[in-house]
Structure 1
Amino acid sequence: MSIAHDSKAAAETVQEAPRKDSQKVIYAAIVANLGIACAKFIVAAITGSAAMVAEGIHSAVDTGNEFLLLLGERRAARPADRKHPFGYGKSVYFWALIVALSVFSLGGGLSIYHGVEALQNPPPLEDPTWNYVVLAVAALFEGYSWNVSRKALNAVRQPGTSLWQAVRASKDASVFTVFIEDSAALLGLAIAAAGIAIGHAFDNPYLDPAASILIGLLLVGAAFMLARETGGLLVGEGIGREQLASLHALFAREPALDSAASLRTMQMGPEEVLLAASVQFRRGMRIDEVEQAIARLEAAIAAEHPVIKHVYFEASALRAAMH
């Protein structure tokens, strides 16, 4: 598409420093998961619980994943250059997708494998006291990390929408990735506790490995959810319907326009959107009148939709206006 005018916002190529809210969520998750992973593996070695091994794997994988998200945040903060004229904002989405693959292969795959192996030769039941202690402490840490990500989502959640709808609408992959991971972790803790408790109640050593398999399946489901959300953003997802409708209303208010045939957007990063506008200016306008109209539109867009950093207008619309 030929471009006749680029918004002034597009000229601002220097990226802001890594976003504090997203990094706070990531650091909280790193601290929680690292401590929990160590405790789970120690207790798993003492008690021989397959479910605890699965939980240890889960927390260890989550810890590594948070470092990948942190890497994505830092790469996304790099300024635009010749090879990447729109900056590195999508690095966050790329590394979040790698996290999804990690959750699927390492978290889910290893947990299922270990559970199946333990089913073939289940370890004898041991005193589960330390298992429960570690699971309870893990629930506190995971709950803290989950609450940090929940607050970050609530800060951008639209009134009347659920937390799950906020996850679907969020463009901040770091935040919703940690939220989904922590939600899966809390459910996994419940499954592990149930498997250990029921196994001891019925003196059945097979229920603990079965819990490990269930935890693995849970992680596979979380991985697919993450892949769907981050994949859409990585391949060029646009802004939400309500935002797009508001954008159309903004263009409709401009008296110099006859119509706005197409407004196409692309998410370039958590807080950066590109807009390509196919509009029809009134015929017979002078070039200075067109420039004034564009300046008004840019100012209105910056005021109502500050995440739109780049605005382009099709050249054909401008040529038609000046004939």
Structure 2
Amino acid sequence: MASHTEGSTKAIFYALGANGGIALAKFVAALFTGSGAMLAEAIHSLADCTNQVFLLIGLKEAQRPANDSHPMGYARVVYFWAMMVAILLFFVGGAFSVMEGIKHLRNPEPITNPWVAIGVLGISVVLEAFSLRGAMVEIRKISHGKSFYKWFRETRQSELMVVAGEDIAALAGLALAFVAVVMTVYTGNPLWDACGSIGVGLLLMIVAIIVIREVKAMVTGESATPELHAAIKAHIEAHPEIAHVMNLISMQWGHQIMIAVQAEMRPQPSDIALVDVINEIEAGIQSRWPQVYWCFFEPDRRKPPASVIESELSSYP
């Protein structure tokens, strides 16, 4: 669990450093060129910096210890901050860029010093690629060979998912802004720049909606990843004192996991022996998967089919 947190924190700092430098360069370029697409990109990068600060706040709050009012701790607070980031990306990054583009469509303004904008965009691509590479390195450590798309859909690490989504949107946005500026210079028509700003905004809004959908599932309550859930169940079923796992519920709780097990046990000589077996199973699970912070175990037995019960009842006089 700690290594996952460290990986997420490292990726966030990569993104924060890159976006800080990019935002400063873009604002200077927007000032010198008057480019609406460049201004939209500058505001997007500034919003990204704020987003990374929010994610760091979330990771810090998630480490607060459990108390009477929050008996399972604060680990899921990272989902709240991830949702805040997605909403900020949608409105501040996306909607503002679209509005800025519409304003320049209505009142087109020529770009001055276009090569400054092109140079800044080139530098921004390098820095943003560095940030994305840092995020992808951390993702590869935990994805176990999955494709990025599959990892994105199944991951429960909201903060790392948000950083990766932002970086991908940023690179695509830079490509759109670059094309818009080049076409404006080539054609002399400032409408290309306005369309570029709108394109960047729509792209950010689409990415934000995708991220919001994924974070919503986490806030609502998701199980552990499918392979982890299956591995825990197989581990329990392999124990010699387990006759049958009747039900296994897992729930991701930030970087922690809660599981509830309902299992049919083999006969034990005493209630103390039964408790010892359950404690042994729980200890084995938490030793193999330290992120399983809570384990609730209910011994039970399978109820016979209704036909068997009716047959037994009919045998009584």
Q: What is the Cα deviation at residue 58 of structure 1?
A: 0.6
Residue 317 (str. 1) matches residue 300 (str. 2): yes
Q: 1:277 aligns with which of 240, 244, 261?
A: 261
Larger deviation, residues 233-242 vs 215-224: 233-242
CA distance in 2, matches of 1:51, 1:278: 57
Residue 189 (str. 1) matches residue 174 (str. 2): yes
**Cα–Cα, structure 1 residues 247 and 195, in superposed 2: closer, same or farther, change >3 Å?**
same
Q: What is the Cα deviation at residue 269 of structure 1?
A: 1.1
Partner residue of 1:104?
90
Contact 1:41 1:53 in 2 (8 A): yes
Partner residue of 1:296?
280
Partner residue of 1:220?
205
Identity fraction in percent: 33
SS in 2 for 1:156: helix
Structure 2 letter corresponding to 1:156: I
Partner residue of 2:24?
38
**Cα–Cα, structure 1 residues 310 and 282, in superposed 2: closer, same or farther, change >3 Å?**
same
Partner residue of 2:311?
none
CA distance in 2, matches of 1:254, 1:295: 12
Residue 242 (str. 1) matches residue 231 (str. 2): no
Larger deviation, residues 280-289 vs 80-89: 280-289
Contact 1:18 1:74 in 2 (8 A): no
Partner residue of 1:259?
244
Normalised by the size of structure 1, how large is the TM-score? 0.89
Partner residue of 1:8?
none
Q: What is the Cα deviation at residue 167 of structure 1?
A: 2.3
CA distance in 1, matches of 2:40, 2:160: 24
Contact 1:18 1:73 in 2 (8 A): no
Contact 1:158 1:166 in 2 (8 A): no
Give CA deviations for 1:185-224 in whole Å, capped at 9, x if unaligned: 0110000000111122222210111010110011011111
Give CA deviations for 1:277-304 in whole Å, capped at 9, x if unaligned: 1112235652122122212312331243
Partner residue of 1:64?
50
Contact 1:154 1:166 in 2 (8 A): no
CA distance in 1, matches of 2:62, 2:2: 9
**Cα–Cα, structure 1 residues 138 and 286, in superposed 2: closer, same or farther, change >3 Å?**
same
Matches within 5 A, 1:23-34: 23-34=9-20
Q: What is the Cα deviation at residue 232 of structure 1?
A: 1.2
Contact 1:36 1:59 in 2 (8 A): yes
CA distance in 2, matches of 1:253, 1:124: 71
CA distance in 1, matches of 2:185, 2:19: 27
Structure 2 letter corresponding to 1:168: R
Give CA deviations for 1:50-73 in whole Å, capped at 9, x if unaligned: 110110111010010111001101
SS in 1 for 2:300: helix
Partner residue of 2:310?
none
Give CA deviations for 1:111-137 in whole Å, capped at 9, x if unaligned: 000001110011013231000111111
CA distance in 2, matches of 1:221, 1:283: 56
**Cα–Cα, structure 1 residues 224 and 285, in superposed 2: closer, same or farther, change >3 Å?**
farther
For the aligned residues, what is the CA RMSD? 1.9
CA distance in 2, matches of 1:266, 1:241: 11
Structure with the greater alpha carbon radius of gyration: 2
Partner residue of 2:315?
none
Partner residue of 2:34?
48
- Specify which structure has the higher proportion of helix: 2
Contact 2:268 2:274 in 1 (8 A): no
Q: What is the Cα deviation at residue 104 of structure 1?
A: 0.6
Q: Give unmatched runs, 5+ long, in structure 2.
A: 304-317
SS in 2 for 1:192: helix
CA distance in 1, matches of 2:73, 2:16: 27
Contact 2:32 2:113 in 1 (8 A): no
Larger deviation, residues 198-207 vs 180-189: 198-207
Larger deviation, residues 301-310 vs 136-145: 301-310
> Which structure carries more relative contact order (alpha carbon 8 Å, separation 6+)?
1
Partner residue of 1:146?
132
CA distance in 2, matches of 1:163, 1:303: 29
**Cα–Cα, structure 1 residues 285 and 212, in superposed 2: closer, same or farther, change >3 Å?**
farther
